[in-house]
């Protein structure tokens, strides 16, 4: 069997870039969502995980937060907050879902509210750093993952879904190269939804999955 390429541990930083696009009403938000850069939609769903915020909100994306805080529309905020970006194959599908939700709400409203504070669309750019650390044996994951930074976890478990052909995390993408040997481990990783989980908690879940799997596998070899 051909030797599998080692897993390259990388880290990243997310840079926030102003787009110059601003909206003040719900109708404007819907219109701009149809044309804004895909990286902007990505940023407003995932940027909160890597960039520090002055205040925490109960909503998981910036659109829902703005609708709640500035437009005072609890109903729409809840609908937008319930959107899980991982349920969509690409950003355009996610974009269309957001537009559809907002259009439905516009049909329900008797008047279009204005916000005192505009929504500023920003765009995400990911800068990647190679740690020069390579993993040759999957068993090493149980030791390496606890030492990975939160931004490295983000890169390999979240950002990877935009890069890998299967739209999955880097761990599963790499493990699939071992001819099905780690099918059970891949299934455990697939059960983790990172969107509603803080990165620190996500790392703990990954540590638990890798530790439990390889501890069980080791005991089975005795």
Residue 128 and residue 118: Cα distance in Å, rounded? Answer: 31
Portion of the chain with pLDDT greater than 90, in percent: 77
Out of 53-57, 166-170, 181-185, pick the least confident.
Answer: 53-57
* pLDDT category of residue 219 using cuts at 50, 70 and 90: very low
- Within 13 Å of residue 215, how many CA atoms lie on the same side as its CB? 8
Closest CA to 118 of 70, 170, 159, 187: 70
Are 34 and 23 a contacting pair, CB within 8 Å? no
9: exposed, middle or buried (Cβ count in 10 Å: 0-12, 13-18, 19+): buried
Residue 213 and residue 30: Cα distance in Å, rounded? Answer: 45
- Tokens 């493990």 belong to which residue? 175
* pLDDT category of residue 3 using cuts at 50, 70 and 90: low
Q: Residue 71 pLDDT more than 50?
A: yes
Q: Which of 45-49, 80-84, 109-113 is predicted most confidently?
A: 80-84
In the chain, DSSP assigns E strands to 7-25, 114-135
Residue 222 has what pLDDT? 41
Q: Residue 2 pLDDT more than 80?
A: no
Residue 220 token pair: 């089975």
Q: Residues 4-63: pLDDT tens digits?
A: 899 999 999 999 999 999 999 999 999 999 999 999 999 999 988 887 665 556 788 999
Residue 45 token pair: 């769903």
How much is the average pLDDT of 80-100? Answer: 94
Helix, strand, coil percentages for the chain (3-state, nearest 5): 55, 20, 25
- The pairing of strands 7-25 and 114-135 is antiparallel
Q: Residue 221 pLDDT more than 50?
A: no
The pLDDT mean for the chain works out to: 91
Residue 11 has what pLDDT? 97
Q: Residue 136 pLDDT more than 50?
A: yes
Residue 89 has what pLDDT? 85
Using only C-alpha atoms, the chain has a radius of gyration, in whole angstroms, of: 20
Residue 52 has what pLDDT? 64
How much is the average pLDDT of 106-115? Answer: 92
């Amino acid at each position: 069997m051909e030797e599998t390429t080692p897993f390259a541990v990388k880290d990243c930083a997310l840079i926030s870039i102003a787009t110059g696009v601003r909206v003040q009403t719900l109708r404007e938000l819907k219109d701009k969502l149809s044309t804004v850069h895909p990286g902007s939609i990505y940023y407003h769903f995932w940027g909160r995980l890597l960039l520090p915020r002055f205040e925490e909100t109960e909503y998981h994306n910036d659109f829902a937060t703005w609708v709640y805080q500035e437009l005072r529309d609890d109903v729409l905020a809840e609908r937008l907050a319930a959107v899980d970006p991982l349920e969509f194959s690409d950003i355009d599908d996610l974009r269309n879902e957001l537009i559809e939700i907002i259009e439905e709400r516009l049909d329900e409203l008797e008047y279009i509210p204005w916000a005192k504070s505009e929504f500023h669309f920003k765009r995400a750019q990911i800068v990647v750093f190679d740690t020069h650390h390579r993993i040759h044996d999957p068993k090493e994951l149980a030791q390496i993952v606890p030492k990975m930074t939160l931004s490295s976890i983000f890169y390999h478990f979240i950002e990877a879904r935009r890069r890998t052909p299967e739209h999955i995390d880097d761990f599963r993408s790499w493990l699939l190269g071992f001819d099905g040997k780690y099918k059970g481990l891949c299934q455990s990783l697939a059960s983790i939804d990172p969107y509603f989980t803080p990165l620190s908690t996500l790392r703990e879940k990954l540590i638990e999955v890798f530790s439990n799997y390889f501890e069980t596998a080791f005991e089975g070899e005795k």
